[in-house]
Amino acid sequence: MQITQRTAVLNADAVATYRRTGFFLAAGLLPADVVGELSAAAAGILAQDSPRRITERDGVTVRSVYGPHQTDPVVARVCRRPELAGAAMDLLGEDVYIHQSKVNVKAAFVGDQWEWHQDYIYWLKDDGIRTPDLVNVAVFLDEVTEFNGPLTFVPCSHNEGVLAATEKHGVPVGYEDAPQWVSTLTADEKYRVRHDVIARLATAHGLVSPKGPAGSVLFFHPNILHASSPNISPFGRTTLITVYNAVSNPPTNTGNPRPDFLAAHGTTPVRIIY
């Protein structure tokens, strides 16, 4: 294990909260000018027609664009800022690389749901990452409210490890002509957590939907149980999510890897840009 010598970004209370509950929200962590740059970059990223772009079931509304840190200089730079990469190092205790990035959209009125799931099971089964030593870092590019489809967590559920899940086979309706890997990126989750498991954990720990202004940064564990409802509001919700993985925890599925824009084929440590 290696960690770059630097000043910590998150204080001890923030790290303790993350480890106990599985998430931590830092409101206004990024400067307004950086958020403005990211928002402008996101608009261009979403407009590009490429295999990296996933639409909703209507085939028109953009749902996600994957790997923007590989193609956009603004995203590449911001993903290496101390507020994001440095904080990920604080939480994981070693140097990190970017395993995945994406711009997620909940379009006004039509942005679809994400069903209850854990993220790590995908990285375990599809990429062969052996331990959940990753962290999701989500930058709010719009204000997130109770109306525009915020993430909902079951706090502390990350302590349960990989939960019992049923695997859905085949390609979801509306994506029949898409590559097989698209089935893991749509509203129909491939690995669904059983309702009785969700009910048990939600009864024990409750439900929380972190909300905040643009520029807030949400850190969440890859095993925390989470979902999000459709966007019923006239206000869009765009988020940049970067998945940092510990450099000591590389993918082992090197024989049949997913595309590089979904799962990094290299583990070069992030060098922080100040």
Residue 121: pLDDT above 70?
yes
Q: Give the tens place of pLDDT for each residue, 29-76.
A: 999 999 999 999 999 999 999 999 999 988 899 999 999 999 999 999
Length of the chain: 274
Q: What is the pLDDT of residue 191?
A: 86
Provide the 3-class DSSP secondary structure of residue 57: coil
Q: Which run of H or E residues covers position 40?
A: helix 32-47
- Per DSSP, what are the bridge partners of residue 245? 97, 134
3-state secondary structure of 38: helix
Taking the C-alpha atoms of residue 56 and residue 198, their distance in angstroms, rounded to an integer, is 25
Per-residue pLDDT band for 171 (boundaries 50, 70, 90) equals low
CATH topology of domain 15-246: Jelly Rolls (2.60.120)
pLDDT by residue (tens digit) across 73-111?
Answer: 999 999 999 999 999 999 999 999 999 999 999 999 999
CA distances from 187 to 80, 115, 121, 182, 225 (A): 30, 6, 16, 11, 16
Mean pLDDT check: name the lowest of 211-220, 243-252, 254-263. Answer: 254-263
Q: Are strands 217-220 and 134-140 parallel, antiparallel or unpaired?
A: antiparallel
With cut-offs at 50, 70 and 90, classify the pLDDT of residue 192. Answer: confident
Computed from CA positions of residues 85, 86, 91, 96, in that sequence, does the dihedral angle turn out positive or negative? positive
For the chain, domain boundaries: 15-246
Predicted pLDDT at 274: 85
Backbone phi, then psi, for 190, in 5-degree steps? -70, -45
The DSSP code for 125 is H
Q: Identify the burial level of 249 via C-beta atoms within 10 angstroms of its C-beta, where 0-12 means exposed, 13-18 middle and 19 or more buried.
A: buried
pLDDT for the residue 181: 59
Quote the pLDDT of residue 190.
Answer: 80
Residue pLDDT, tens place only, 132-152: 999 999 999 999 999 999 999
Band of the pLDDT at 183, cuts 50, 70, 90?
Answer: low
DSSP state of 184: G
CA distances from 155 to 113, 148, 207, 221, 224 (A): 20, 21, 7, 10, 7
